[in-house]
Structure 1
Amino acid sequence: MNDVVVVAAQALSVAGAVRMAAVVLSDAERVYVMYGVQDDLRIDGRGCEDYRHMEVETDVVSNTSGSARMKIGHTDILVGIKAEMGMPKLERPNEGFLEFFVDCSANATPKFEGRGGEDLGTDIANTLYRVFDNGSSLDLKTLCITPRQHCWILYVDVLLLECGGNLFDAISIAVKAALHNTRIPKVRVLENDEGSKEIELLDDPYDCIRLNVENVPCIITLSKIGHRHVVDATSQEETCCMASLLVSVTNKGTLTCFRKIGGGSLDPASVFEMMETGKRVGKALHKSLETTLAKEESLGKKRQKVGFLG
């Protein structure tokens, strides 16, 4: 390493310890990041396919049907889900549905002030709609009460508490954890003498519907830096990224959708390689997450934050 790269390394170590409003890297710092990625040694010591340590905690918001909090590096996500009765969509009369709202709080980073956070929140919500817009992720028929008349609508509220890179992955993991934690009351449909139907909630709070989240995919973001790509990019690495590929991967490694973000271009060979990496990394991520969620539930009220992929 030459003196310029050594100075860049020292600057990055200082920058990583401070929450910055916007990450701005010098040319020397960019060179240091790119050289490290080429050698499979990133600025925090990880390899190209390694995630940072994650923490997941469920059932953290009392007035919701399900909730979860997800931390990875300096990224902190809170998800709350509320189940409310509504009318099924005309095109899917036998199913309930999900509604997503993403709040990019200006407290997370000043760059979310004004329309910056609003535009990003809309973009993330639209991506989540794409991920869940298939019949295999969730069995939405279990949310139907009476066809064409009543169903459960799951309002998924995502709050960005702190932004430290890799938002899409963190949000998708938090959403899956919150869905796993969701409990929907069982109801009884009563028909009176006039032929109209009434909905009655069952009294037992423990007699509820649980969602099967086994096939719910997670988003894996592959960020192209130089001639290689990395997963779970930090804010500094995102600054050096030419373009990224978001892939939605199930626990069996099946790709359900993907999209490219960023201003740079990706050649077909790179896209294929990134998709294969996404499948491989996604399977390992799901396995660790499922183990963590099972442990969280078994601990009950005594549970504590459980880290995984540390």
Structure 2
Amino acid sequence: MTDLLLSEAEKMFIIHGVQDNLRVDGRSCDDYRHIELETDVVSSANGSARLKLSQTDVLVGVKADLTTPPTDNPDVGTLEFFVDCSANAAPTFEGRGGEDLARDISSTLARAYSSDRCSSSMLKALCVVPSEQCWVLYIDILILECGGSLYDAVSIAVKAALSSTKVPVVKVTSSDGGKPELELSDDPYDSLRINVKHAPCNVTLSKIGHSHVVDASLEEEVCSLASLMMAVTEEGTVTMLKKSACGSLHPESIYEMLETGKNVGLNLNKQLTRQLLDEECLHTQMGTNREPKGFL
């Protein structure tokens, strides 16, 4: 994902620092960089969010539309993820260089949100008439800049955008033929909010030397031979697990990384929930005239 080159001396400096729990930017191994988050930034979308994690910049928009429920799950709504990597985000994204990454991010998000926990709490609320009509949420993700920890940043922005999403309330009536008729409310305040209580956030742990770190910078990603990505809900449930890169992980290392990832994920969801509540208060008090706030 990056063509960054480091000398052996630079790599050893980073590795030795991680072993002493002191990273180049002063963080400990379990710390995220400063995150700035702003919701409702796209007026034409049902929900949106923009997140900046150091040099990583992500914009997410959510559009809602009515469709037929899937035959295997006739009583739930659906989520569709679409990712676009801006050519300005990284040199490797020029031309069609970002297509493989975009597909991988989309499939990773789909796996994280496909758990029964998410379906029962969030997707069932999107069903209008079982087997007839449901809401589909098209989640468009634009990678504006890439500065490390991309999957984590995208997942946080997606959860924030879903939290701000408002879907019109649908009134269902029966016609003479027995087929349901739908009437969408015109009142902008008469809307359904998406319950993101069980929506997960990704935590990526990069193995560097004999230790591991969360929210790896681009320089730290160069020093990492393997990483473990996990999607964690605010209850500590792991909905997705994925290993990446070509290096191997010892079983004991995997266990330690899982424990770290779960604890970090719990704190990340907790801080995000608090930030989203603050954002909601700011919208109520100040409307759109506000500055993005940071957390973590």
TM surpasses 0.5: yes
Q: Quote the residue 1:97 is aligned against.
A: 78
Is this contact kept in 1: 2:113–2:239, CA < 8 A?
A: no
Once the two structures are overlaid, the 10-residue window that deviates more, 177-186 or 140-149, is 140-149
- Summarize the alignment of residues 157-306 of structure 1 with structure 2, pairs less than 5 Å apart: 157-300=140-283, 301=287, 302-306=289-293
Once the two structures are overlaid, the 10-residue window that deviates more, 252-261 or 99-108, is 252-261
Counterpart AA for 1:217: P
Q: Quote the residue 2:135 is aligned against.
A: 152
- How far did residue 293 of structure 1 move? 0.5
- How far did residue 254 of structure 1 move? 2.2
Partners in 2 of 1:176 and 1:254 — Cα distance?
Answer: 16
Identity of aligned residues (%): 56
Is this contact kept in 1: 2:234–2:265, CA < 8 A?
A: yes
Give the TM-score normalised by the residue count of structure 1: 0.91
Q: Quote the residue 1:28 is aligned against.
A: 9
Once the two structures are overlaid, the 10-residue window that deviates more, 282-291 or 56-65, is 282-291
Unaligned runs of 5+ residues in structure 1 are 1-19
Is this contact kept in 2: 1:67–1:81, CA < 8 A?
A: yes
Residue aligned with 2:116, SS: coil
**Can you list the C-alpha shifts for 1:67-102, whole angstroms capped at 9, x where unaligned?**
000100100000000000111001001111100001
> Runs of at least 4 residues of structure 1 off by over 4 A?
none
**Can you list the C-alpha shifts for 1:184-243, whole angstroms capped at 9, x where unaligned?**
000112322233332111121101101111111110000000000000000010011110
**Can you list the C-alpha shifts for 1:270-292, whole angstroms capped at 9, x where unaligned?**
00000000011111111111111
- How far did residue 108 of structure 1 move? 0.6
Counterpart AA for 2:219: Q
Residue 140 in structure 1 maps to residue 123 in structure 2 = yes
Counterpart AA for 1:216: A
Is this contact kept in 2: 1:65–1:82, CA < 8 A?
A: yes
- How far did residue 166 of structure 1 move? 0.3
Give the TM-score normalised by the residue count of structure 2: 0.95
- How far did residue 21 of structure 1 move? 6.8
Is this contact kept in 2: 1:296–1:303, CA < 8 A?
A: no
Once the two structures are overlaid, the 10-residue window that deviates more, 82-91 or 131-140, is 131-140
Partners in 1 of 2:124 and 2:290 — Cα distance?
Answer: 32
Residue aligned with 1:246, SS: strand
Once the two structures are overlaid, the 10-residue window that deviates more, 167-176 or 252-261, is 252-261
Is this contact kept in 2: 1:95–1:140, CA < 8 A?
A: yes
Counterpart AA for 2:130: P
**Structure with bigger gyration radius:** 1
**Can you list the C-alpha shifts for 1:115-143, whole angstroms capped at 9, x where unaligned?**
32000000010000100001212421111
Residue 49 in structure 1 maps to residue 30 in structure 2 = yes
